[in-house]
């Protein structure tokens, strides 16, 4: 299992991370990662957010789950991703983990092209976050 954080500032913008490594290098991703042994999803969410961005969550809410066939080193792993919307302070400063994050952007939802998102599970969750069916297309 893995977690992903849609990090939102008070102005409504979402934090998108540029992936520093494969799979999906250079594409948009979220702070997140795999759960450690005996760790809850919420504990993993806070840990991954701190590790990858240095941000402290003020609050969070569950958005959805989605299957993610994660390919690494020639092996396809069946993963269930758990997505959360996380609120942070307006003045929150990012300290990105260079091994994971090539860059970051605070974007309004409407500025994000789903084709720029690294994983189908994140595209699915982003559609739900926006109140759309995951199969809806922008017109």
pLDDT at residue number 117: 97
User: pTM of the prediction?
Assistant: 0.89
Provide the 8-state DSSP code for 117: B
Closest CA to 29 of 15, 42, 11: 15
Put residue 54 in one of left, alpha, beta given phi > 0 → left and psi -120 to 50 → alpha.
Answer: left
How far, in Å, CA of 106 to CA of 17, rounded? 9
Provide the 8-state DSSP code for 94: P
What six digits make up the tokens of 31? 């702070």
Q: How far is CA 62 from the centre of its chain?
A: 12
pLDDT at residue number 71: 82
How far, in Å, CA of 134 to CA of 127, rounded? 5
Kindly state the average pLDDT of the residues 42-67: 95
Q: Which domains does the chain have, with CATH numbers?
A: 2-129 (3.90.79.10)
Structure-model confidence comparison of residues 139 and 97, the more confident one: 97
pLDDT at residue number 22: 82
């Amino acid at each position: 299992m893995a977690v992903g954080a849609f990090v939102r500032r008070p102005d409504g913008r979402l934090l998108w991370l540029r992936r520093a490594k494969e799979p999906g290098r250079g594409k948009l991703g979220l702070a997140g990662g795999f759960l450690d042994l005996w760790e809850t999803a919420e504990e993993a969410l806070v840990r991954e957010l701190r590790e990858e961005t240095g941000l402290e969550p003020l609050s969070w809410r569950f958005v959805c789950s989605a299957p993610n066939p994660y390919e690494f080193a020639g092996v396809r792993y069946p993963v269930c991703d758990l997505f959360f919307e996380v609120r942070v302070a307006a003045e929150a400063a990012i300290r990105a983990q260079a091994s994971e994050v090539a860059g970051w952007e605070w974007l309004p939802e409407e500025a994000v092209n789903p084709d720029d998102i690294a994983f189908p599970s994140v595209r699915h969750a982003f559609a739900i976050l926006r109140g759309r069916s995951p199969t809806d297309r922008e017109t």
